[in-house]
Amino acid sequence: MLSRRGWILFTLMSVLWGIPYLLIKVAVENVSVPTVVFARTALGALVLLPLALRSGRLDVVRRHWRPLLVFTAVEIIGPWALLSDAENQLTSSMSGLLVAAVPIIGVVLAMLTGDAERLGPVRWAGLLVGLAGVGVLAGPHLGGGSAWAIGEVMLVALGYAIAPLIALRRLQDLPSLHMAAFALGIAALVYTGPAIATWPEEMPGGRVLAALIALGLICTALAFIVFFELIREVGTSRGMVFTYVNPAVAVAAGVAFLGEPLTGTILASFALILGGSVLATARRAPSPAAAPPVEDERAGDAKAEPEPASG
């Protein structure tokens, strides 16, 4: 049972990484994709880098700079640009639902790389059900102009599924705060030139500026801080359940604030993708004889936890 603080942190994470799809949709209406990504990463780094520098351990960052670059590329540099570009064509709710396939892709990647336990009938059923949900959602759009955008979002989901594998294999010794802070800083540097080259000639309206600021400060900097606190409070296995709530928040936000349609197809695909993700990532309970000693999940400093897919 979660504590009151755990529930508050859990609810915050469900919202903080559920609304970026809405904010990206608002921002790309008036500013370029590089500007959106630069604003988000620069503002996030502006908050998190001082915290990481103050905590020290920069020698660990230097030792892991190569895998950190790869992690940054597949978690932020590529996905955040692809997602922003895709939302020029797709609704925010559809983008959020497609990205919800990350756990399913993660299971497939782990299976292909030999990191996953043997899949039983339940997890295989989850994979098929989740993929069916993606097909239900994307199928009607594959013949039109949205096909490219759908492909971009699926590449985003692939990147989000690969990044935790890199974190677990190559960045175990790197504290999560340092991983997030320096990844955002690297991405901001990468997008500085493209952002300057495509900077809007006129100052964007207040609605767009508010969306950019919220993306950087609330959905990135604050979200990472809340995430670290959530993992410390309730442990990884329970804390990461919020990733199943994010798609519902994305759909609800798109419908409520942008007037996006809530169709039977969206509802059906949401049920299939969510149900498939839960089944595909379900863990078999160990037999009593093989059960390891129970440890407090809240122990430790969460330094080796992989970052979940953010919007």
Distance CA 107, CA 119 (A): 9
The DSSP secondary-structure symbol of 240 reads G
Distance CA 179, CA 58 (A): 11
The DSSP secondary-structure symbol of 139 reads G
The per-residue pLDDT for 1 is: 64
Q: Are 67 and 178 in contact (CB under 8 A)?
A: no
**Pair of tokens at residue 205:** 């309206």
The per-residue pLDDT for 192 is: 98
The per-residue pLDDT for 244 is: 80
- pLDDT by residue (tens digit) across 214-268? 999 999 999 999 988 888 888 766 666 777 888 889 999 999 999 999 988 889 9
Residue for token digits 């199943």? 244
Distance CA 189, CA 195 (A): 10
The DSSP secondary-structure symbol of 101 reads T
Amino acid (one-letter) located at 254: G
Query: Which residues in the chain land under pLDDT 50?
Result: 289-305
The per-residue pLDDT for 87 is: 95
Distance CA 198, CA 205 (A): 17
Distance CA 215, CA 19 (A): 9
Residue for token digits 């949401």? 270
Q: How far does CA 182 lie from the centroid of its chain?
A: 17
The per-residue pLDDT for 286 is: 54
Domain residue ranges of the chain, discontinuous segments joined by +: 4-280
The per-residue pLDDT for 104 is: 84
The per-residue pLDDT for 258 is: 93
pTM reported for the whole predicted model: 0.86
Give the DSSP per-residue string, 254-298: HHHHH-----HHHHHHHHHHHHHHHHHT--PPPPTTTPPPP--TT
CA neighbor of 307 nearest in space, from 244, 245, 233, 225 = 225
Q: Are 86 and 149 in contact (CB under 8 A)?
A: yes
The per-residue pLDDT for 295 is: 42
Residues ≥6 apart with Cβ < 8 Å to 82: 152, 153, 155, 156, 159
CA neighbor of 138 nearest in space, from 98, 86, 82 = 98
